[in-house]
Amino acid sequence: MNPQERIADLRTALHEHNHRYYILDQPTISDFEFDQLLKELEQLERQFPEFYDENSPTMRVGGSVVKSFNTVVHQYPMLSLGNTYNWEELADWIGRVEKLAPESTFVCELKYDGVAIGIRYEHGKLVQAVTRGDGTQGDDITTNVRTIRSVPLQLNGPAPESFEIRGEIVLPHAAFERLNAARRDEGQAEFANPRNCASGTLKLQDSSVVASRGLDAYLYFVLPDGILADTHSKTIEAAGDLGFKVPRKSDKYIAECAGIEEIKAFIEYWDVERHHLPFDIDGIVIKVNDYKAQQDLGFTAKSPRWATAFKFKAEQVSTRLEHVNYQVGRTGAITPVANLKPVWLGGTTVKRASLHNQDQIALLDLHEGDEVFVEKGGEIIPKVVGIKLDARAEGAVPVAFISHCPECQTELVRKEGEAQHYCPNASGCTPQISGRIQHFISRKAMDIMGMGSETVQLFVEKGLIHSIADLYDLTYDQIIALEGFKEKSVTNLLEGLNASKQIPFDRVLFGLGIRHVGATVAKKLARHFGSMTELLQADFETLKAVDDIGEVIALQLTEYFNEDANLEELARLQQAGLQFEMEVINTPSEGPLVGAKVVVSGVFESFSRDELKSLIETLGGQNVSSISSKTTYVVAGEGMGPSKKAKAEKLGIPVLNEEEFKTLIQ
Ligand code: IVH
């Protein structure tokens, strides 16, 4: 047999064994035999690089390292699901569906608590995998998804020429525990829960690390509708035949249900049984089975009317409060944290829970050594929700809030009307310094390539930097002297800093981390004042008079600009060459878009969505996200969802295509 044929045979065989092992759970060869075949293939591929195939089973181990992920616009927006938490709401939903689509039956499925993914296949091969992102566009994480063994690189049998399958990437408990144990041993921070860990893992740039983490994927949604079958349940079965890991009826992960009683039985079964699943779920998804009925029901702006999620109630457990410690954020905000006797809750061990602020501690009437109830909500950090009063030890003392910063011992302040305590020592308190610099370099602010949070922390600890402006004084010699830095990484970092000097003024302003000045407010201020000089001259009244700038923001700004240390820092940043100006946008007083509320949807040929949106603002219009009776125009690009279109038509709102929009503004 010639090498090309042998390579092809080995690939086919290994794809099949992979499928049997990871999807069907019915391997027919031993791990050893599998490894032998894989090794033979690896060796042949090395010897004959001309037969390279990115979908070869040898590619599962990863290896490619990407700098950053490309943004990809979803062909079909990635929507979310409506939620219900109780039987009445669920019954209402079922009632509405049965009224609008009387023939419909339902399908119940697990609601996987992972990271949503859309995977595109063309000619039977995986071509692209994209995260949800903001629902309209996400990150291209194909290299990472390829390493997940249960995601087929190549499909079995004839598949449609092109389609997308969506699902959830999860990290099974066993892999999560293994990873955290290893991190504990190495003194690294542990992951809070499997979903966070899955999400963090998928953002890694080195796919071989991703490959080692043991992610899994469950797929539950095929697009376009009807490409495999005319109902959802048949589609899922057909996707299973193509080689995807889909929920199986035999595992009870999916069931067809005729009405409310069967749906309830499915939910009640899993509310108990979920504790024995090897991965996390956070509810049950109920879908209308027939695509025709789904279409009749349609969508709201955010989610389909043909599906809903029944969320399980957060679980509660009780455990002992060991002590309270206090974290200092980048703005100096103090957050009290309850350190608990470790307790198993909803799939993870909980050791800490947020206590929010002094009022919350008072409200709970928390005493030292109390037996407390903790609950996991939607957040990563569990909450203390109550106290077992009858378990309180006699003579226990109430938890007293600290008066001085745990990091720098400065006396804390609490402003009138605010719940949070602050450490006012902004320029001398280490976590505040690191936090501010970390915010400054972050992606939404200055996006400094080659630099991450750990690097900042290290530089601060080593005394190389004390403020944002110090970043621009860093030298090659200073950094290379630190452990772990090689020539390349130092050059990258310095280049990243240099490149950040081109980042527009509004992002510089956002990067300063002034309280209440988020990205949107920063953009408004930058556009309104046009330069740092003008902004610095504005007094409280002038600031307050700017659209959407209220008293709170105006006050924060004046306070910030009254501090000499801040002015000094700004002067140094300007000296370093950062952008301190941008074009002032004078909103016109007349024109077709003045006062118009515009919804932009889809993708455009001559502008990016952001360009189009800023053009609308420049012309005096206002961008709004969803269509209502108050909308003036909808500007529709490629791929605008049918539901939006239908809604606009129903409300009689003009829908303009790209050309019509251009004509209008000319
Ligand atoms: S169907 C049009 N099915 O939950 C919406 N979603 O909170 C189609 N999810 O966006 C989604 N398990 O990321 C569907 N069996 C399941 C799911 C599921 C988890 C996720 C999905 C969705 C989110 C909504």
Tell which CATH classification among 3.40.1390.30, 3.90.1150.10, 1.10.150.20, 3.30.70.3040 matches the domain 505-576.
Answer: 1.10.150.20
- 281 Cβ below 6 A of ligand 1: no
- 111 Cβ below 6 A of ligand 1: yes
Q: Can you identify the CATH homologous superfamily of domain 314-422?
A: Nucleic acid-binding proteins (2.40.50.140)
Give the number of the atom of ligand 1 that is nearest the alpha carbon of residue 111: 12
CA distance 556 to 226: 55
> How far are the Cα atoms of 79, 182, 258, 286, 562 from residue 105, in angstroms, in the given order?
22, 47, 5, 10, 65
Residue whose CA lies nearest to ligand 1 atom number 2: 79
Q: Are 274 and 312 in contact (CB under 8 A)?
A: yes
CATH topology for 430-502 is DNA polymerase; domain 1 (1.10.150)
Q: Are 516 and 553 in contact (CB under 8 A)?
A: yes
pTM to 2 decimal places: 0.56
- 113 Cβ below 6 A of ligand 1: no
- 285 Cβ below 6 A of ligand 1: yes
- Could you tell me which of 442, 97, 110, 504 has the C-alpha nearest to residue 271? 110
Do 430-502 and 100-259+272-306 have the same topology in CATH?
A: no
Give the number of the atom of ligand 1 that is nearest the alpha carbon of residue 116: 13
Q: Are 348 and 340 in contact (CB under 8 A)?
A: no
CA distance 145 to 155: 15
CA of 177 to the centre of ligand 1 (A): 25
CA of 80 to the centre of ligand 1 (A): 7
CA of 487 to the centre of ligand 1 (A): 45
We find that the CATH architecture of domain 100-259+272-306 is: 2-Layer Sandwich (3.30)
DSSP state of 590: S
As a 3-state breakdown, the chain gives helix, strand, coil percent values, each rounded to 5, of 40, 20, 40
- 282 Cβ below 6 A of ligand 1: no
- 647 Cβ below 6 A of ligand 1: no
Query: What is the spatial order of strands in the sheet that 633-636 belongs to?
Result: 622-623, 597-601, 633-636, 655-656
CA of 615 to the centre of ligand 1 (A): 34
Residue whose CA lies nearest to ligand 1 atom number 21: 116
CA 402 vs. chain centroid, Å, equals 34
DSSP state of 147: T
Return the best residue to mutate from 76, 274, 279, 285 for the ligand 1 pocket (most ligand atoms within 8 A of CB): 285
Which residue numbers in the chain have pLDDT < 50? 378
CA distance 249 to 233: 10
DSSP 188-238: PPPPSSHHHHHHHHHT-SBHHHHHHT--EEEEEEEESTTSS-SBHHHHHHH
Q: Domain 597-665: state its class.
A: alpha beta
Query: Virtual CA dihedral for 29, 32, 35, 41, nearest 10 degrees?
Result: -70
- 627 Cβ below 6 A of ligand 1: no
Q: What residues are labeled active site?
A: 111
Return the best residue to mutate from 107, 168, 288 for the ligand 1 pocket (most ligand atoms within 8 A of CB): 168
CA of 219 to the centre of ligand 1 (A): 10
CA distance 645 to 294: 17
Q: Can you identify the CATH homologous superfamily of domain 3-61?
A: Helix hairpin bin (1.10.287.610)
Return the best residue to mutate from 111, 134, 169, 249 for the ligand 1 pocket (most ligand atoms within 8 A of CB): 111
- 197 Cβ below 6 A of ligand 1: no
Encoded amino acid at 617, one letter = E
Return the best residue to mutate from 75, 76, 81, 286 for the ligand 1 pocket (most ligand atoms within 8 A of CB): 81
What integer pLDDT is reported at residue 585 of this predicted model? 66
Q: 39-49: string of b/e by CB count within 10 Å (b at 16+)?
A: eebeebbeeee
What integer pLDDT is reported at residue 147 of this predicted model? 94
Give the number of the atom of ligand 1 that is nearest the alpha carbon of residue 113: 19
What integer pLDDT is reported at residue 241 of this predicted model? 95
What integer pLDDT is reported at residue 155 of this predicted model? 94
CA of 620 to the centre of ligand 1 (A): 38
- 112 Cβ below 6 A of ligand 1: yes
What integer pLDDT is reported at residue 341 of this predicted model? 96
Helices of type H across 274-349:
291-297
- Could you tell me which of 311, 309, 312, 318 has the C-alpha nearest to residue 382? 318
What integer pLDDT is reported at residue 620 of this predicted model? 83
Give the number of the atom of ligand 1 that is nearest the alpha carbon of residue 247: 15
Give the number of the atom of ligand 1 that is nearest the alpha carbon of residue 299: 2
- 80 Cβ below 6 A of ligand 1: yes
Query: Domain spans of the chain?
Result: 3-61, 100-259+272-306, 314-422, 430-502, 505-576, 597-665
- 218 Cβ below 6 A of ligand 1: no
Residue whose CA lies nearest to ligand 1 atom number 23: 80
CA distance 51 to 10: 13
What integer pLDDT is reported at residue 484 of this predicted model? 87
Q: At 401, is the secondary structure helix, strand, or coil?
A: coil
What integer pLDDT is reported at residue 376 of this predicted model? 75
Token pair 């109830």 is found at 373
Give the number of the atom of ligand 1 that is nearest the alpha carbon of residue 304: 2
CA of 348 to the centre of ligand 1 (A): 22
